[in-house]
Amino acid sequence: MLIHMEAITRRYEVGEQPVAALDKISITVPRGQFVAIVGPSGSGKSTLLNMLGCLDRPDSGSYLLDGVDVSNFDDERASDFRNRRIGFVFQSFHLLPRLSVLENTLLPRRFLRGSDEGLEQRAHELLERMGLQRHLAHRPSQLSGGQMQRVAIARALLMKPALLLADEPTGNLDSRSAAEVMALITEVHAEGQTVLLVTHDADVAARAQRQISLCDGRIERDSAA
């Protein structure tokens, strides 16, 4: 199992009242699976994404990712883990406007503690595969939305992550670019990459092998169950 979440709970203080954003959620995802997480806003999707991406710690429960118990990592270890084992793709791409396409792709290298051998080579390969080899020196503002999201995917894959987390990756794209990006994600998955995709688009969710729907911090339905 790549992901093994056991009874994860996360509460927030809203006024005086603690509200459980995640209420004893247990999820297991085998290596290489393509999972879509769906649910209305306020269902706990972002909290779960924070949790899965090691950006937040649960109040209780345990989370093993790639065999490592990450639920009690401090900021230092969690950041290092995110840097090397998790790739993020976001709805609005989040490329840094003053960096070139190549520099954006290589951004995770900045926070890498250890050898960065071969990363530049890998960035070139990834961008070539994304069809962006002629845009290496371009700024994000010179690219189309689909191209920007492809740069973001290249950036997410740079460190060969164990888990690719995508948060509404097609939300800001026209249907043609969206289809291209989904095809790309599907292709990456086909090569063995575990992908976890958060969306409220049923068509996008349908491309995944498994759908988990969240409601009020609980799992309402899991297609694998």
Which of 56, 5, 45 is closest to 26 using CA atoms?
5
Stretch 142-161 residues interacting with another protein (CB under 8 A): 155
Q: What is the rounded distance in angstroms from the CA atom of residue 36 to the CA atom of residue 200?
A: 9
How far apart are CB 90 and another protein at their closest, in Å?
Answer: 5
Q: Report residue 202 as tokens.
A: 């049923």
How far apart are CB 60 and another protein at their closest, in Å?
Answer: 19
Provide the 10 A C-beta neighbour count for residue 80.
16
How far apart are CB 110 and another protein at their closest, in Å?
Answer: 5
Stretch that binds another protein, among 102-110, 118-126, 179-187, 214-222 (CB under 8 A): 102-110
How far apart are CB 92 and another protein at their closest, in Å?
Answer: 7
94 binds another protein per the rule CB under 8 A: yes
Q: What is the rounded distance in angstroms from the CA atom of residue 143 to the CA atom of residue 164?
A: 23
Q: How far is CA 107 from CA 7, 23, 155, 165, in A?
A: 34, 35, 7, 17
Residue closer to another protein (CB basis): 14 or 225: 14
Q: What is the rounded distance in angstroms from the CA atom of residue 38 to the CA atom of residue 32?
A: 19
63 binds another protein per the rule CB under 8 A: no
**Whether 219 contacts 213, CB under 8 Å:** yes
9 binds another protein per the rule CB under 8 A: no
Residue closer to another protein (CB basis): 105 or 193: 105
DSSP 59: S
18 binds another protein per the rule CB under 8 A: no
Stretch 31-60 residues interacting with another protein (CB under 8 A): 46, 49-50, 53, 55-56
Residues present in the chain in total: 225
Question: What residues line the site for another protein (CB under 8 A)?
Answer: 46, 49-50, 53, 55-56, 75-76, 79-80, 82-84, 88, 90-92, 94, 96, 98, 107-108, 110-112, 155, 167
